[in-house]
Structure 1
Amino acid sequence: MSAGLHSLALIGRDTKIAADFFRECVMDRLTEMEAFATVVDQGGFTDAAKKMGISKSAVSKHVSSLEARLGARLLNRTTRRVSPTEIGLAYYDRARRVLNDAGEADALVTSMQSAPAGLLRISVATDFGVNHLSPVLGEFLKDFPEVNVTMELANRYVELISEGFDMAIRVGELEDSSLRARKIADTTRRMVGSPDYFERYGRPKRIDDLNNHKLLHYSRQSSGNVWKIPAPSGELRQIRTAGWLSVNDGQSLLNAAISGLGIAYLPSFLYADALEQGLVEEAIPDLPADIQGIYAVYPPGRFTQPKVRAFIDFLVQAFANKGPDAW
């Protein structure tokens, strides 16, 4: 072997030795920290040994090695009990944090490599669920046969965690900032009525003119029969009238508008086809568009379950070419 190759071989060997030494040091430190933290958690060496699945003498050796390396006594040992010293208690807080982070890192890798499976519980408003989510669900289930979906169609605000839902699809401003959210599309809200209605009652030219028209409302809204409409000036105007009809279903409001019963304030994912077919027209076309996001929301956490992540990715792709008006 030439001198140059011999030198490279030595360098390679030394690098491997250094890497192995570093890895062993890190592992030794984590093992020592785990032994110490488990002793504190369990209140003694015997129960800690059972918890870790090693001998009592091994646990004692790890803790003694940790104390020697740190140059401090971490535990008060008596014949009856073991308790952390003041320094030991401070060290325990940091050590437990490191061990928890390491455990979550392992769980994250395992979770992200797992195939989506299990029961996926979804909450979605009836309007969007019936018209747009239901038609694409079959494709998702074919792609992920190990996932079972339970979808609740309801025009109410659900508490995801307390009611046991994995995720929900919500339209408009998100009220609960503690939830994680990902936008899947945009929709536009506009006031629409039938050509027959406008022929009989005239077309409003300004927002104030709506007070003289028959309005169709969503029932059970927290704001009551109030429409918040963007004005040409940029301000948000509020219009409150009793109207002819209130119902907790957007499709029913659209049907009522098509029948000439009045003006409805609806999202584009409901009225788009009717508008294109000439069944309804915009009440005041010159008003600014009221664009709202459609979001997948799910509980907070360090990582997302594979079944939830897969479904959200699917929705983003399925509705990539939708909105704000193109529905």
Structure 2
Amino acid sequence: MDRLRAFEVFASVVSRGSFTRAADALDTSPANVTRYINELEAHLGTRLLNRSSRKLSLTESGEALYERSKSILEEVAEAEALASSATLQPRGRLRINAPVSFGIRHLAPLWPLFMQAYPEVELDIALSDRVVDIVEEGYDLAIRISRAGSASHAARKLGTSRNIVCASPAYLKAHGQPEKPADLVGHRCLGYTYAATANEWHFVDDAGRPHMVKVNYVMHANNGDTAREAAIAGQGVIWQPAFLIGDDLKAGRLVALMPGYRMPDIDVLAVYPSRRHLSAKVRVMVDFLVEAFQPVPSWEVPPGPGVTEKAIARAARHRRVK
């Protein structure tokens, strides 16, 4: 059995919803289409399609294979284009994973600009605050917020964000203002579930000396905006990256604490499986994001034109003239 051809037949049957329409699209007979599907199911040892006289539906195994088959066929098409053309155009589906708050605030305004610049690339965006396995879960690219970078995948840095300890004016009026890390022991703190250091908050003072304090949490949240809202409402002290709370600090909804102490910065990274055989669609997306956040990310500058306005001007340079 030609497995690549079988994947092509299977994907065509699913996308067109019919053995007959798939046969027409592939310029073959319905009997051949049926044979390929039967051989593929026998090879995999599982049913992929539920057949009835009126319609086809995917089994759970069929759904998983369909998603992977589309990616495989897109990569094969790109490989063929690369072999036959010196000017490969980015095309096909691009699956991207990104953190929820960062994705909404700083990436969502960019997607329409990228789509305008590269109309043959289909974006498939998934937002999640957990760290996904980009290979196992079939992502082409992930945006990660990390202090340690990526040891197992290739990565390019998009920007850096300060981590800032802060609280609302109402909370500070009721509970007092901490002057040094050790003072946080007596305060209500709001934690981020995925933080690598759990309830240990690490600082460096102006002289470069390290400080660590174990805080007491009154709430954990697996999303930064949830903790941010609780802090704005006066429920405790948080540390969050500047890209999340920068506007709140500028507006006075939150107040930065302990100016003589600094938490380690974090990097915003574009992570992908490998630098080798990098597809055109991933390459142009990474280049696009690097440029959009350069030279200094909008969350690290005073109020003014934000990432959307900067990206609009820069995206013009990406657009191909038809």
Taking structure 2 as the reference length, what is the TM-score of the superposition? Answer: 0.64
Please give the alpha-carbon distance, in whole angstroms, between the structure 2 residues aligned to 1:130 and 1:311. Answer: 17
The CA RMSD measured in Å over matched residues stands at: 2.3
Please give the alpha-carbon distance, in whole angstroms, between the structure 1 residues aligned to 2:85 and 2:143. Answer: 23
Please give the alpha-carbon distance, in whole angstroms, between the structure 2 residues aligned to 1:131 and 1:302. Answer: 31
For residues 36-76 of structure 1, give each alpha carbon's deviation from its aligned partner in whole angstroms, at most 9, with x where no partner exists: xxxxxxxxxxxxxxxxxxxxxxxxxxxxxxxxxxxxxxxxx
Q: Are the counterparts in 1 of residues 203 and 263 from structure 2 also a CA contact under 8 Å?
A: no
Match of 2:28 in 1: none
User: Unaligned 5+ residue runs, structure 2?
Assistant: 1-78, 307-322
Letter matched to residue 325 of structure 1: E
Q: Are the counterparts in 2 of residues 185 and 324 from structure 1 also a CA contact under 8 Å?
A: no
Return the offset for 1:220: 4.3
Q: Which has the higher mean CA deviation after the structures are superposed, 205-214 or 233-242?
A: 233-242
Q: Name the SS of the counterpart of 1:215 in structure 2.
A: strand
Please give the alpha-carbon distance, in whole angstroms, between the structure 2 residues aligned to 1:124 and 1:277. Answer: 27
Q: Name the SS of the counterpart of 1:273 in structure 2.
A: helix
Match of 1:299 in 2: 273
Match of 1:274 in 2: 248
Return the offset for 1:233: 4.0
Please give the alpha-carbon distance, in whole angstroms, between the structure 1 residues aligned to 2:176 and 2:85. Answer: 60
Q: How does 1:36-185 map to 2 (within 5 A)?
A: 113-174=87-148, 176-185=150-159
Please, which of 281, 288, 297 is the counterpart of residue 322 of structure 1? Answer: 297
Would you identify which runs of 4 or more consecutive aligned residues in structure 1 move more than 4 Å? 105-112
Match of 1:5 in 2: none
Please give the alpha-carbon distance, in whole angstroms, between the structure 1 residues aligned to 2:221 and 2:125. Answer: 22
Please, which of 211, 227, 237 is the counterpart of residue 211 of structure 2? Answer: 237
Pick the structure with greater CA Rg: 1
Return the offset for 1:111: 7.7
Match of 2:182 in 1: 208
Please give the alpha-carbon distance, in whole angstroms, between the structure 1 residues aligned to 2:273 and 2:223. Answer: 27
Q: Which has the higher mean CA deviation after the structures are superposed, 233-242 or 189-198?
A: 233-242
User: Unaligned 5+ residue runs, structure 1?
Assistant: 1-104
For residues 73-131 of structure 1, give each alpha carbon's deviation from its aligned partner in whole angstroms, at most 9, with x where no partner exists: xxxxxxxxxxxxxxxxxxxxxxxxxxxxxxxx998676872111111111111121111
Measured at CA, do residues 218 and 183 of structure 1 come closer, stay the same or move farther in structure 2, by a change above 3 Å?
same
Return the offset for 1:159: 1.1
Q: Name the SS of the counterpart of 1:302 in structure 2.
A: coil
Letter matched to residue 279 of structure 1: R
Measured at CA, do residues 155 and 112 of structure 1 come closer, stay the same or move farther in structure 2, by a change above 3 Å?
farther
Please give the alpha-carbon distance, in whole angstroms, between the structure 2 residues aligned to 1:272 and 1:112. Answer: 44
Q: Name the SS of the counterpart of 1:161 in structure 2.
A: coil
Q: Number of aligned residue pairs: give it.
A: 223
Q: Is 1:227 aligned to 2:206, yes or no?
A: no
Please give the alpha-carbon distance, in whole angstroms, between the structure 1 residues aligned to 2:140 and 2:156. Answer: 14
Percent of aligned positions that are identical: 32
Q: Name the SS of the counterpart of 1:244 in structure 2.
A: strand
Please give the alpha-carbon distance, in whole angstroms, between the structure 2 residues aligned to 1:278 and 1:286. Answer: 20
Match of 1:252 in 2: 226
Q: Are the counterparts in 1 of residues 97 and 143 from structure 2 also a CA contact under 8 Å?
A: yes
Q: Are the counterparts in 2 of residues 119 and 150 from structure 1 also a CA contact under 8 Å?
A: yes
Letter matched to residue 137 of structure 2: E
Measured at CA, do residues 233 and 165 of structure 1 come closer, stay the same or move farther in structure 2, by a change above 3 Å?
same
Q: Name the SS of the counterpart of 1:243 in structure 2.
A: strand
Please give the alpha-carbon distance, in whole angstroms, between the structure 2 residues aligned to 1:212 and 1:111. Answer: 66
Greater fraction of residues in helix: 1
Q: Are the counterparts in 1 of residues 159 and 268 from structure 2 also a CA contact under 8 Å?
A: yes
Please give the alpha-carbon distance, in whole angstroms, between the structure 1 residues aligned to 2:299 and 2:164. Answer: 11
Please give the alpha-carbon distance, in whole angstroms, between the structure 2 residues aligned to 1:252 and 1:275. Answer: 17
For residues 143-198 of structure 1, give each alpha carbon's deviation from its aligned partner in whole angstroms, at most 9, with x where no partner exists: 11111111111111111111111111111224542311111111110101111111
Please give the alpha-carbon distance, in whole angstroms, between the structure 1 residues aligned to 2:86 and 2:198. Answer: 44
Please give the alpha-carbon distance, in whole angstroms, between the structure 1 residues aligned to 2:149 and 2:163. Answer: 19
Match of 1:217 in 2: 191
Letter matched to residue 322 of structure 1: P
For residues 265-297 of structure 1, give each alpha carbon's deviation from its aligned partner in whole angstroms, at most 9, with x where no partner exists: 000001110100111111112213632211101
Q: Name the SS of the counterpart of 1:253 in structure 2.
A: helix
Q: Are the counterparts in 1 of residues 181 and 212 from structure 2 also a CA contact under 8 Å?
A: no
Q: Are the counterparts in 2 of residues 108 and 303 from structure 1 also a CA contact under 8 Å?
A: no
Return the offset for 1:246: 1.0
Letter matched to residue 181 of structure 1: A
